[in-house]
Amino acid sequence: MVCRAAAPNSHPSTMPVHYVTYKGIKFPPAYNSVHSLSFAHNEFLVRDDDVFNITYPKSGTVWMTEILSLIRSHGHPSWNQTVLNSDRMPWFSTRLGLEAALSYPSPRLLTCHLPRHIFPKSFSHSTAKVIYTLRDPRDVVVSYFYFCKMCNSYEDPVSFEQFLRDFLSGELPHGSWFEHVRGWMQMKDRENFFFITYEELKQDLQGSVRRLCHFLGQNLDDDAISSVVQNASFTAMRQNPMCSSILLPADIMDQTKGQFLRKGICGDWKNHFTVAQSETFNRIYLEKMQGLDVAFPWDRDQDPDLTEQ
Ligand code: A3P
């Protein structure tokens, strides 16, 4: 999600949210415009040394921003502690992020939630690197539900039941999780594409950072790796106003309704889904992910054949 101190076109919580729609996908109005999205898609020039942090919302975007900026700084935390995450890795498809991206000296670190089919066309012919972070979609939907309650650029969810239904039918802002994942995972065998899950980051952050360094061609010694791990921990991030979103104006992010860095755990869906919701979810998940030749850490719960093994 975008974290940016200056946020024009914001909506007080009582006003309805008029989403920006581009290619049939809804985007929050505070940051996006049809022009910024169309520019990103059709005209934005990807540079060969760009590194993109790409996610579906609530999958660990800001966490990856912290990790990648710390890797870029060889583990020294001063950049992360003094510059907003959105300025370290601009959201180039948003109005303000686009300006920042265009004036960013190479090599750039850039962020977006764009699905593959509206990602910059110029990427097809470039060697720019993409890091795609995914998360158990059940935890995504729970995290997204709470985020929408506190962020006034999103409609306040009517109920978790309705929110889950909208997630499954691809009606939420930023489009369908399933299409996002399917679109990006088509690149899984490309050399300039690296995917990782939130669950892997949680399970082994040090090993994940080492793998990221290898992909990025950055040599960090053990002390530098430890510093990345320490400064990208949930606790350290909560204490860092440059990534915790507390600097956002109250009319954008209502901090009385929750925290952006909410729980930071795997499996919170179990505290929210009913048995019936879980069964419906599994059925739709299996249908929609059919033929995608990748095993994710959460797949085991969803396939009854695998669970029984
Ligand atoms: P929860 O709402 O489940 O706590 P995004 O940045 O894509 O919007 O994702 C936000 C989610 O990532 C939130 O999930 C947030 O707490 C979690 N997150 C961010 N930094 C984290 C960290 N260092 N460790 C664990 N989870 C983190």
Domain ranges of the chain: 20-281
* Cα 126 to averaged position of ligand 1 atoms, centre (Å): 30
113 is catalytic: yes
Q: What is the largest CA-CA distance in the chain?
A: 54
Q: What are the beta bridge partners of residue 53? A: 111, 131
pLDDT in tens, 175-186: 999 999 999 999
pLDDT in tens, 153-165: 999 999 999 999 9
Among residues 11, 113, 174, 180, the one annotated as catalytic is: 113
Q: Report the nearest-CA residue for atom 26 of ligand 1.
A: 264
Q: Does domain 20-281 have CATH number 1.20.58.100?
A: no
Nearest-angstrom CA–CA distance, 219 and 205:
17
What does the pLDDT average to over 174-202? 98
Q: Report the nearest-CA residue for atom 14 of ligand 1.
A: 264
> Looking at residue 309, what is its pLDDT?
35
Pocket of ligand 1 (CB under 6 A): 1, 55, 57-63, 139, 143, 146, 232-234, 237, 261-264, 268
Q: Which long-range contacts (CB under 8 A, 24 or more apart) does 210-216 make?
A: 212/67, 212/68, 212/71, 212/131, 213/71, 215/129, 215/131, 216/51, 216/68, 216/71, 216/129
Tokens, residue 56: 């579906």
Question: pTM for this structure?
Answer: 0.93
Phi-psi region of 70 (alpha: psi -120 to 50; beta: other; left: phi over 0): alpha
Burial 263-295 (b: 16+ CB within 10 A, else e): ebebebbeebbeeebbeebeeebeebbeeeeee
55 CA: nearest ligand 1 atom: 7
* Selection from 237, 265, 194 nearest residue 69 by Cα: 237
Q: Which of 143, 242, 265, 272 to mutate to test the pocket of ligand 1 (most atoms within 8 A of CB)?
A: 143
pLDDT in tens, 30-77: 889 999 999 999 999 999 999 999 999 999 999 999 999 999 999 999
